[in-house]
Structures are given as C-alpha cells and as structure tokens.
Structure 1
C-alpha cells in the first residue's frame, strides 16, 4: 500500500541520500546529506538501506501530513518532534497514523535534522542519486504544497495500555553543541606553510554566516603560505581545509567543486565533516591533528555501531512483522565522500 505525504511547512528542506558517488568523474560534486552519520542512522531506524532517499531539514521548522500510516525516525540536531500533537522521541522509530501532523520545531545545538520513512519515498535520480545539485539545477527542494509518495504503509505500533513507545533501542547519539573539535589529517600542501601551519591548532575559529553546503567559512588566525609558487588547479577532496585569502579559512563540504587551485593545508575526517554539518553561524571550531590510520579506525568504529543498530532494528521489526530492507547500501570508503 502506498500513500501521499503533503508538505504544509517546508522550512528549508530537500529530499536527498548519501550522495552522487559517480558524479566527480563527470565533474559533478558528490553532494548528499551533510551529516552522513545522522542520515544513515535515520534510515536504519526505519529498516531502510543506508542510501534510501530521506528528508534533510535545515534550521527552520517543518510540517507534513501523511495520507497513510507511516513509520518514521528523526535524527540529527536536537529539536521538538510532535506527531498528532504528541511529543515524540528522536533517534527512535515513531508510528504516525494517517492524517496526523508531523512537526519538527526548534532545531538547536546543531542545524540539520533527518527524517526517514519506512520503505522510503519516491525521488528522481541523476547518476544513481537523488541528491540535489544546485550547479545543474537538479533535485527536490520541498515547497509548501509539495506532495511526496511513500512506498509502504505500516500499521501503528503502540503499547496497548499506556501508549508508551515500544522502541528503546539506545543508540549512542553524537554530541552536539556550539563548540566543535574537528580532527584533520595533513593536507598535500602543509609543507608550504612551514611553522605557520601550527596556527591551525592553536586558536578557535568562528563559523561565518556565509557558510553553506559547498563549504564552511571560518574567521580566525590564518596560517600563511611561505612559498610563492603558483598552485595549479587539481582534484580536491571533500573536507579540504583551504587558505584562499588572508580573510578566512575554507573547509570544503559535499557540494564543493571537484577541482580547485588554493593550497590545501589539511583534510577534515569523515566524522569531522559530520560535526561541521551541524555547525551554526557563530559556532566555534577548533582543529585537532590525527593520522589517516587513526581516522579510518574511528570511522570504522562508527560504522560498526550503525551495523549493530541495524541488527537490533531487524530483530525488533521481524518480531513485529514489519518488512525491512536488509541489505545496507554502503558506498565505498574513500576520502572524497
């Protein structure tokens, strides 16, 4: 059974997935959910594959009304989630009856939330991904009156006596706040900065209001490039920490172009990028050096935690008779995604 979902208050929201991994070889950014950990967790909590389309909500309030019974999960930044006027818990599956309003309000201590729906939602794709791309004008930017199509209906799952939630999965949630400690590895041009590179790890940086999905702009003490040779345009990874001018630091995010000609001092780790995805204008960012080996180990621990979550969800859903998509859609481990 399928059903429509009416968006009555879109705020700033899009339908996305984990990204267009085939895009860079064609000159397109990878894009996709900026906080990948939260997006994966939301899909896993409702029994979807990691890469299923879901809704990314940025900063502003959101409201939708389904015309069929749904099972949803909301992850990401702390917020107030209500279903039919009832306060509900983030980072857990939540039942929604047909006609009940689902509202997301008061996003704080972070800036992005992720709303996944069991069975996912229909979305057009480009090179295998529904991720929006502002460069080519592709993607589903939601507006008031937008209608989404849910592929499955799930009967309400409620505790029969006191209407208490049946789900208490206990996933460890990422810590969010106004201060972000971001681990970075050495960039290809770090030697060009000499001893000046140490400034990156000394002072705090402040997130500019001009930051977006392409990159975060940070004000603070800037390392100075010691060499005056020209930097040729070349491939640049997501997470590259660039020093494009004497005014600000730039950390490239998932909407970045695939080439650039600025010196790359460092590269943020994948988990560091998830934290930066939740950075609000005015937040403080500090950098901490790590190695590629240590960053890879940390990332694998986080993915193992999500796989353990998948095992718990699959067992619960099987007991409740809820069909799930059991095969995870894990994109390849790579520096650019």
Structure 2
C-alpha cells in the first residue's frame, strides 16, 4: 500500500538527501542538505536510512495533506508544527492520519527546517542522489499541487490520554540565530595573510542577503593578503573561507564548484557548516580556531549522539511493529557508547 503527499503551500522547499558524493569526480558539486546533523536526525527519528530523501524548508511556511497514515518529524530551526490543527513538538516522531493537514510555520532562530517521512518519498536521482543542482538544472523543487509518493504508510498512533505526545526520543540541538560561533581549521594559504589572519578570530562578521547554498558572504573587518602572486585554480573543499575582494569573506558551502582561484584563509569544520546552514541574513558570525584532531573528535561525538538516538528509535519501533532498515534490528550496545 502506498500513499501520496499533496503540497498545498510550498514556500521555499526542495527534496534533498545528504549529497551527491560521486559528483565531484565528474565536476559536480556535492550539494545535499546544508544542515547535515538535522537532516540525519530527521531520517533516524522516522526509521529511515540516514541518506533517504527528505524535505528541506528554507525560511517560508509549508503545508501539505496526505492520502494515507504517515509518521513524520521536523528538525532543524525552530518552527510551529501542527497536525490537524494541533501543535506537536519538533525532533520527535509524529503520527499523521490520512486527510489531516500538516503545517510548518514561523521558522525562526535559524533558516532551515527538515521534514522527514517514514518510508521516504519517491523522486528521481542523479549519480545516486536526489540533491538539487542549480547548475545542471536537476532536482525537485516543490510547488503548490506537487504530489509525492510514499511507499510505507504507518497506521496512525494516538496516545489515549489527552492526546499527549506518543514518542519522547529526540536529541534537540539548538539552532543558531543572532550570533553564531563557527569552528575553523587553518587553510592552505593562511600564511599569505600574515598577521592580519588573526582578524578572522577577533572580528565579528555579518551575513549578507546575497548568501545562498553555494556560499555565504560575510561583511566585516577583512584580513588582507600580503603576497601578490597569482593563485591558480585548484580543488577546494566545502567550507573553504576565501577573501575574493576587499568587501567580504566568502564561505563555500555544499553547492560550491569543485575548483576556485582565490586564497583559502581557513576551512569551516563539518559541525561549523551545520551552524552556517542556519545563519540568516543579518546574523552575526564569529570564528574560533580549532585543529583537525579536535574537529574530528567533535564530529565523532555528534555521530555517537545520533547512534544513541538510532538505538532508542530501533527499540521503540520494534516494540510497535514499525518497519526499520535492515541494519537497525540488531544494533550492538557498543554503538551507543
């Protein structure tokens, strides 16, 4: 039995996953969900594989209905989630009965929210990924009336007393907003900025309205390059912090091209990129120096947190008879630390 999601108000919403990891070898950006932690958590909370397609809502309100019973969740930036007119918490699985309207409104304290559905949705893929690519014109951007097929409806669950939340499984991570702290490691060209490189850590920067999924543009007190040699185009990582002009910093995000010819002052860490994904125009950004070893340890801690969440979801879904991916049934206790 399958079901259909019918979009009533699309806002600014795309279907995405964790990214096109085979893309860079063919000259395509990796793309994918900009806040990777929130996207992974959303899929885990509804019993999907981490890389399953889900909805990325940017800034604007979203509404939908469904022709079948579903299990959904919303993570990422704070917002008001309602099902059938009733409010429900984010970062928790929520049961939706066929025909009930679902709305995500008032995204705040961040820029992007993620809506995942148990069983995921059916969409085209390019090189193994459904992530949109604005350069080649690929991907699913939702509009009013868009219909998405869901292959694994879940019978509606309702807590029998006062309609209280049935699940309490979430690992909520506060979204950024106002002023964010972003960890960065030294870039390959940091020496070319001499003593002015320290400005990156002592100054405050403001997110420009010209920012997008390709890169964030930041205004503020800029480090200046003290050498004049030409920088040849070369491969650049996601998170590279460049100084292309005297007016702004440019932080390359997941939609960036795979090569560039500007000096790379620093590189945002994986967790730092998640923070930047939630930065709105006008938000203030500060940078903090870290090492590759420290950044790797922090990333591993965040993945362990998600594995703990996965174990909890696997246990509860098993008791309720909800389908789980094959690798979830026998997770070792050690996976939870």
Q: Which band: TM-score by shorter chain?
A: over 0.9
2:272 alignment partner in structure 1: 272
2:302 alignment partner in structure 1: 302
2:334 alignment partner in structure 1: none
C-alpha separation between the residues in 2 aligned to 1:137 and 1:161?
Answer: 49
C-alpha separation between the residues in 1 aligned to 2:164 and 2:226?
Answer: 62
Contact 1:314–1:326 (8 Å) recurs in 2: no
Contact 1:48–1:326 (8 Å) recurs in 2: no
2:146 alignment partner in structure 1: 146
Question: Which 4+ stretches in 1 moved above 4 angstroms?
Answer: none
Q: What is the number of equivalent residue pairs in this alignment?
A: 328
Cα deviation, residue 165, structure 1: 1.2
Cα deviation, residue 256, structure 1: 0.1
Cα deviation, residue 162, structure 1: 2.1
Cα deviation, residue 175, structure 1: 4.2
1:210 alignment partner in structure 2: 210
Cα deviation, residue 158, structure 1: 1.4
Question: What stretches of structure 1 of length at least 5 have no aligned partner?
Answer: 329-337
Contact 1:49–1:326 (8 Å) recurs in 2: no
C-alpha separation between the residues in 2 aligned to 1:107 and 1:161?
Answer: 29
Cα deviation, residue 224, structure 1: 0.4
> Helix, strand or coil: the match of 2:312?
helix
Root-mean-square deviation (CA), in Å? 0.9
C-alpha separation between the residues in 2 aligned to 1:140 and 1:246?
Answer: 37
C-alpha separation between the residues in 2 aligned to 1:44 and 1:6?
Answer: 23
Question: Would you say 1:2 and 2:17 are equivalent positions?
Answer: no
Alignment of 1:194-273 (within 5 A): 194-273=194-273
> Helix, strand or coil: the match of 1:78?
strand
TM-score, normalising length: structure 1: 0.96
> Helix, strand or coil: the match of 1:49?
coil
Contact 1:183–1:268 (8 Å) recurs in 2: yes
Question: What stretches of structure 2 of length at least 5 have no aligned partner?
Answer: 329-337
Residue deviations 1:230-284 (CA, integer Å, cap 9, x gap): 0000000000000000010000000000000000000000000000000000000
C-alpha separation between the residues in 1 aligned to 2:165 and 2:319?
Answer: 16
Counterparts in 2 of 1:142 and 1:170: CA distance versus 1, 3 Å: closer
> Helix, strand or coil: the match of 2:109?
coil
> Helix, strand or coil: the match of 2:15?
strand
C-alpha separation between the residues in 2 aligned to 1:204 and 1:313?
Answer: 40
Alignment of 1:81-120 (within 5 A): 81-120=81-120
1:192 alignment partner in structure 2: 192
2:332 alignment partner in structure 1: none
